[in-house]
Amino acid sequence: MSITVRGVSKHFGDFRALDQVDIEIPKGTLVALLGPSGSGKTTLLRIIAGLDFADAGAIAFDGLDITTRTARERGVGFVFQHYALFRHMTVFENIAFGLRVRPRGTRPKEADLRKKVGELLELIALQNLAGRYPSQLSGGQRQRVALARALAVEPNVLLLDEPFGALDAKVRFELRRWLRALHDEMHITSVFVTHDQEEALEVADVIAVMNHGKIEQIGSPDEVYAHPATPFVRSFIRFKEDHEAK
């Protein structure tokens, strides 16, 4: 599904988190919202998800205005930075949660549910850990479970908030490769938030660079890297080289 964000603004008290943000995300793309902390990227992601609501502006999925719909009605998969796995449920039950809470009419039969969860466990290569609890898993494993849980409800769009932020460097590297491969396989419209320019350049089809509640530039990784639109984008994208050059 395509995502359209039009003129979205959001204030928290006196702080202007988002200021007239517009972005068009075509169906099937993997977009990175890149920016420093406080730039509004997580707020924008939460507004797309329906976990926060904009003061002004509109959100549409496939051209259909869903600005006033709740997260429950939007059919989004959301992956939290700190996983937000249900600690009292096994890996299996975590993934099955979204299927079990469906209204009776659309709830899958137990056998179908087991099959579906089994497929997702296979996808994240954790079949043998289905009976474990989240506290018994590593960070990378937890994040994969969180992703499988979000995918179980067959969301229209997949939204990830700093999905690799809490992981160590090696796991992060492996997991972002894996996410990219997964996206190439499933083609689900995905938006992820990151403050790591390397991560955005490597994983995303499109990068939206944000600063002070505005989008400074939208473009492919090559474009943004080769032709930064503003001094801020240049300094943020090339931070590492600039730093190493000194």
Partner 1 sequence: MIAISEPKAVRWTLIAVTAIFLVLFLFLPLAIVLTTALGQGLTLYFASFTDPDTLTSIRLTLLTAAIAVPLNTLFGLAAAWAIAKFDFPAKSLLVTLIDLPFSVSPVVAGLIFVLLFGARGLLGPALIAHGVHIIFAVPGIILVTVFVTFPFVARELLPTMQAQGNDDEEAALTLGASGLQTFLRVTLPNVKWALLYGVILCNARAMGEFGAVAVVSGRIRGLTNTMPLQIEVLYQDYNYVAAFAVASLLALLALVTLVVKAIVEWRSGEPVA
From candidates 84, 123, 166, 229, binder to partner 1 by CB under 8 A: 84
Binding to partner 1 by residue 76, rule CB under 8 A?
yes
**Considering beta carbons, is residue 10 or 149 the nearer one to partner 1?**
149
Q: In the bound complex, what is the minimum distance in angstroms from residue 236's beta carbon to partner 1? A: 28
Binding to partner 1 by residue 166, rule CB under 8 A?
no
Binding to partner 1 by residue 115, rule CB under 8 A?
no
From candidates 38, 57, 98, 219, binder to partner 1 by CB under 8 A: 98
Per-residue binding string, partner 1, 135-164, x by CB under 8 A, is: -----------x--xx-xx-----------
Q: Residues 148, 101: contact at Cβ < 8 Å?
A: no
CA distances, 17 to each of 31, 46, 125, 160, 195 (Å): 20, 12, 38, 19, 16
Q: Residues 1, 62: contact at Cβ < 8 Å?
A: yes
Q: Which long-range contacts (CB under 8 A, 24 or more apart) does 44-47 make?
A: 44/5, 44/8, 44/18, 44/210, 45/159, 45/161, 45/191, 45/193, 46/161, 47/5, 47/8, 47/10, 47/18
Q: How many residues bind partner 1 (CB under 8 A)?
A: 27
From candidates 56, 71, 123, 166, binder to partner 1 by CB under 8 A: 71
Question: Hey, what amino acid is at 94?
Answer: N
**Considering beta carbons, is residue 78 or 232 the nearer one to partner 1?**
78
Longest alpha-carbon distance in the chain: 63
**Considering beta carbons, is residue 88 or 246 the nearer one to partner 1?**
88
Stretch touching partner 1 by CB under 8 A, among 75-83, 124-132, 221-229, 234-242:
75-83
Q: Both tokens of residue 38?
A: 């406080």
| Residues near partner 1, by CB under 8 A | 49-51, 70-72, 74-78, 80, 82, 84-88, 97-98, 101-102, 146, 149-150, 152-153
